Structure 1
Amino acid sequence: MKKTIIAIVGPTAVGKTKLSIEIAKQFNGEIISGDSMQVYRGMDIGTAKIKEHEKQGIPHYLIDSLDPHESFSVADFQSSVNDHIEEITSRNKLPIIVGGSGLYIQAALFDYNFADEKRDPTITKKFESIIAKQGIKPLYEQLKRVDPEEASKIHPNNHRRVVRALEIVETTGKTKSQLQEEQNQSSPYNVILIGLEMDRQLLYERINLRIDQMVADGLVEEVRTLYKQGLQNAQSMKAIGYKEFIPFFKGEQELEHCIDILKRNSRRYAKRQYTWFKNKMDITWYTVEPNTINEKFGIILRDLAGILKDK
């Protein structure tokens, strides 16, 4: 029989973490982080990592597993999640995946086959040679022409992802987006997908307030520590919440401007998260409001009780 898994998805700051704790307490669950950045140690504030007292004794996985200089791919995440699901279910516990990294969660739940994206070192070296001579701009412009959807997801200075996306097109004749669409949409698990959404303006206000609180809690100092360690070009530092402060440390921008850019980028990311989840997966959505979120969580818990009873 297929193992049952609950996945809680939705945009940043909508209340996923709080809901995951309530579900875990009621249904004997343990939580796997579905956030691609919470895996890094020392990146706590900017990733909105759950605090120890907030866990309420619930075991959490894929949090603080790597150092910030290490890489962590979608394939790595998929493999780790599968291992944790096996281990959690072996103890008759319910695995709960919670997060907003859409491709990561989709890959883990729907058995994405990474073998379809074969590497070609010759092509990689060709692109890297172009970067060395001309910079990244020509390749990013090329990516915008051949795969505009993927280009919209990648920062122009992220050499690794730009090269990878172009390499996929050249080796397969298809864009990364097309390959993902062709993947088998069946899952090796019984997946219960719960989505949280909120009025867009309310969500944006929550995002702005959350960032103000992050700054008050020491976000700038957290990023400064990583920057002083020489990690500004690490994969982990490309994340929203970290990359925005690099110009400040270089003396190129004022701090307030960097904070405003972070708020803008976070709002845009939330919009992209909505689009991804709405288009890619069959999710049961619940609209929440800050003042009535506990009542809505009660409805979700009752709905889940009925669904799990039938599994």
Structure 2
Amino acid sequence: MSKIAVIAVVGPTASGKTKLGVEIAKAVSGEVVSCDSMQIYKTMDVATAKPTPEEMEGVPHHLVDILPPETPFSLAEYVRLASETIADIHARGHVPVLVGGTGLYADTLLQGIQLCDQGEDPVYREKLAAVAAAEGGEKLMEMLMECDPAYAAGVHANNIPRLIRALEVYHTTGVPLSEHIRRSRPDSAPYDTFWLGLRFHDRSKLYDRINLRVDQMMENGLLDEAKAAYETRMSTAAQAIGCKELFPYFDGEKTLEECVATLKQSTRRYAKRQLTWFSRNQKIHWLEPDCQTWSELVGNAFEMLMNSHLFSDILYPGEIRL
């Protein structure tokens, strides 16, 4: 039985993944499957950089805006939902196009990593939660970097549950969670995946894009979203980049300008960790937006797809409109 062919578009935040994913989906009769741990939630549209209807250009997008913001959501649940979605898209004769920057989700789903139960220590977990409440996610990130830097590379400092879980696994088993994941990789992946990645030759240009995006998010109502999360204590949704960084402003501890600067710095650091994570994947075909025009980049992406054995029969140059 042949495997389902999937196109994956990955990379750091603000690199253009959504736009490229839509271009590809239009050309291959595809549908987008989001690979973002925060876009799964309703509301928080600005903070999680959800694609607008205009940006979707009529392409169906799945696993976006489906859960209440206070609902916990695990990696295992994502893999289950995404697997079902990919199977459904394929059954209807369309191509699944996975788009996102949550590297752990993408790898676990597309490489078929088996999720196994690890040790639990509720008392230690509560201690870590207290540390997070007192000193923030950055403290947990420091702790995780000491014992499991490989896993830390794929986690944002605001994602308290994932940080706590990784520390708990190391505490109870003595083995980093990243090593548990490595050992659980199967000999054969469940999908035939063609990986496309976006990265910048000059990383400062990516950071400029991130700074600009944050400014645009502020103009588009990020402060109101963060205020709603702050007032209702939506712990899960508030993990999104853009919320917790603004909380000190609501507490009267920092100016808005200081909080926005912190947000930009936090997002840049997250992008760096995303790049570190994806750089380990030797199957990714990289594209650099700062070394070519957008039309050239899209054309190069299509050429890569046409040269692959997976999609050469459904993608033709005459169908490509740049």
TM-score (ref. length: structure 1): 0.89
Residue aligning to 2:318: none
CA 129–224 in structure 1, closer or farther in 2 if over 3 Å, else same: closer
Worse-superposed segment, 163-172 or 200-209: 163-172
Q: Structure 2: which 5+ residue stretches go unaligned? A: 315-322
CA RMSD of aligned residues (A): 2.6
Worse-superposed segment, 74-83 or 183-192: 183-192
Q: CA deviation at 1:289?
A: 2.3
Residue aligning to 1:205: 208
Q: Structure 1: which 5+ residue stretches go unaligned? A: none
CA distance in 1, matches of 2:261, 2:98: 31
CA distance in 1, matches of 2:273, 2:127: 32
Aligned residues: percent identity?
40
Q: Does 1:68 align with 2:66?
A: no
Residue aligning to 1:292: 293
Q: CA deviation at 1:295?
A: 1.6
1:142-166 deviations in whole A, cap 9, x for unaligned?
6555435546766778664444223
Q: CA deviation at 1:167?
A: 2.7
CA 275–261 in structure 1, closer or farther in 2 if over 3 Å, else same: same
**Aligned residue runs from structure 1 range 227-242, under 5 A:** 227-231=230-234, 234-242=235-243
1:309 aligns with one of 286, 307, 312: 312
1:231-262 deviations in whole A, cap 9, x for unaligned?
2xx12212211110111111111100010011
CA distance in 1, matches of 2:221, 2:129: 36
Contact 2:132 2:160 in 1 (8 A): no
Q: Does 1:217 align with 2:220?
A: yes
Contact 2:158 2:244 in 1 (8 A): no
Contact 2:124 2:168 in 1 (8 A): no
1:189 aligns with one of 188, 191, 195: 191
Q: Secondary structure at the match of 2:279?
A: helix
CA distance in 1, matches of 2:100, 2:109: 12
Worse-superposed segment, 161-170 or 24-33: 161-170
- Name the aligned partner's letter for residue 197 of structure 1: R
CA distance in 1, matches of 2:221, 2:291: 25
CA distance in 2, matches of 1:42, 1:153: 24
**Aligned residue runs from structure 1 range 249-288, under 5 A:** 249-288=250-289
Residue aligning to 2:319: none
CA 297–80 in structure 1, closer or farther in 2 if over 3 Å, else same: same
CA 162–293 in structure 1, closer or farther in 2 if over 3 Å, else same: closer
- Name the aligned partner's letter for residue 229 of structure 2: L
Aligned length: 305
TM-score (ref. length: structure 2): 0.86
